[in-house]
Structure 1
Amino acid sequence: MSLALDADAVIWSASEADREGRPLLVLMHGFGSHEGDLFGLAPSLPLEPVIAAVRAPLAAPWPLDGWAWFPRDEQSSPQASDVNAAADAVIDWLDGLSVTPTSVGLMGFSQGGAMVVQLMRRSPERFDYGVVMSGFVTEGEEPGDLTLEESRPPIFWGRGTHDEVIPESAIVRTTDWLPSHSTLSGRIYEGLGHGINQQAAADIRVFIERQLTHDS
């Protein structure tokens, strides 16, 4: 299966002329949502990177009026072919950008968080860091896993104690995988459900600023 992102649906924080010589932060929303969702966090994020909020390539099923990276019945254990098709669509979109960023970071929520890790597994040399909120690591092995074991890129993983959307099996799998494949910054938010609160947004900002400082 081949998928493609809608380049016209991307929400940018800067005009094309203002993207030259700047890092890029790609935002990926959750199931049944849209590109405007995480873009609402832009005022809470660092000013240095250009932000691009992308739309997932699959239409979510009725009655949801949104988009998905992979089918909902695969929410915590997507088929490798499905999640990799979505990851490759993001990579193809990046390859087609008219302005080459100085670095690329990823941030995603829920399914979008799973996409963050899958993209880093799919193309480990391309991405500098990842932010995974209420997300998880998919099952199986990927060609880039060995590279990640050596390079240990910075990943922030945040989740709420009251998140009832992501099953325990996916949490356990992620807890086992991330420490050996990343330089992990983990945070569990007491009382938070399947979402992002103000404290998480502040922690994400600090994490991203730290990565930008290291890159400079």
Structure 2
Amino acid sequence: MNLSLHHITRPSSLKVNAPLLIMCHGYGSDENDLFSFAQELPEELFIISVRAPYPMQPYGNAWYAINFDANQNKWNDVEQAVGSRDTIANFIDEACAEYPVDKNNVTLLGFSQGTILSYAVALTYPEKVKNIIALSGYVSEDMIADNFEHKDVSHLDFYCSHGSVDQVIPVDWARKAPQFLNNLNIKNTYSEFPVGHGVAPQNFYEFKSWLEKRI
């Protein structure tokens, strides 16, 4: 079976019903970027790292285009983002059918643009996801389905983190996520680290510990 997104995998130590972790990289990167985390994560996880669908020049991939005008204002291609949101949701179903994983124990791990999409997938399709690790991103409400407030999100659990000196995505944008999630009565943890647009070692060990308690 050809799945809809190119991806690489790290099999689980479990032969059946493995907890599934799907990694979604940031703008201009690829499936190898976050996969470097895999060897440090619990062996019972079945890990899939996916490649975003839009190739960039000269290399890398994007979940949606970011456009710049003459004044260096930038805006997101929301139509592309919504398409990618639905593609990831569909990919979750494909992966659960293809691999020996537990469809009721799916974690999304995103970085930057991959985090923005992970928020959108989890809040639009909460029935497909259990845990979300949201690194260096923010909630973009225009990428979430209109009726998301009426869905059952009571089981979701978010780990959110950001660099306090992030020069790509302002930390103020990320700081809005906890209140947004609290308003929906969604469990969440939020941390900041004194780094830019990246994942500090202590950030990795904190979300690893968070995840170990939930799989």
- Per the shorter chain, which TM-score range? 0.7 to 0.9
Residue of structure 2 aligned with 1:41, choices 37, 40, 47: 37
Separation (CA, whole Å) in 2 of partners of 1:83 and 1:196: 23
By how many angstroms is 1:90 displaced?
A: 1.3
State the AA in 2 paired with 1:170: W
Which digits, 9 at most, give the CA deviation of each residue in 1:89-115, with x for residues without a partner? Answer: 112222223235212110000000111
As a proportion of its length, which structure holds more strand? 2
Percent identity (aligned): 26
Residue of structure 1 aligned with 2:166, choices 163, 166, 171: 163
Q: Report the TM-score when normalising by structure 1.
A: 0.83
Separation (CA, whole Å) in 2 of partners of 1:172 and 1:77: 20
Which digits, 9 at most, give the CA deviation of each residue in 1:130-183, with x for residues without a partner? Answer: 0000011113352223325x5161100000111010136633543541322321
State the AA in 2 paired with 1:178: L
Structure 1: stretches of 5+ with no match in the other structure? none
| Structure-2 change in CA distance of 1:18 and 1:209 (3 Å) | closer
Residue of structure 2 aligned with 1:187, choices 172, 175, 191: 191
Higher relative contact order (CA 8 A, sep 6+): 1
Aligned length: 202
Within-5 A mapping of 1:119-134: 119-134=121-136
Separation (CA, whole Å) in 2 of partners of 1:100 and 1:14: 9
As a proportion of its length, which structure holds more helix? 1
| Structure-2 change in CA distance of 1:5 and 1:76 (3 Å) | farther
Q: Does 1:70 align with 2:67?
A: no
Residue of structure 2 aligned with 1:177, choices 157, 170, 180: 180
Structure 2: stretches of 5+ with no match in the other structure? none
Q: Does 1:94 align with 2:92?
A: yes
Alignment RMSD (CA, Å):
2.5
| Structure-2 change in CA distance of 1:88 and 1:107 (3 Å) | same
By how many angstroms is 1:44 displaced?
A: 2.2
Separation (CA, whole Å) in 1 of partners of 2:112 and 2:206: 17
Residue of structure 2 aligned with 1:146, choices 150, 171, 174: 150
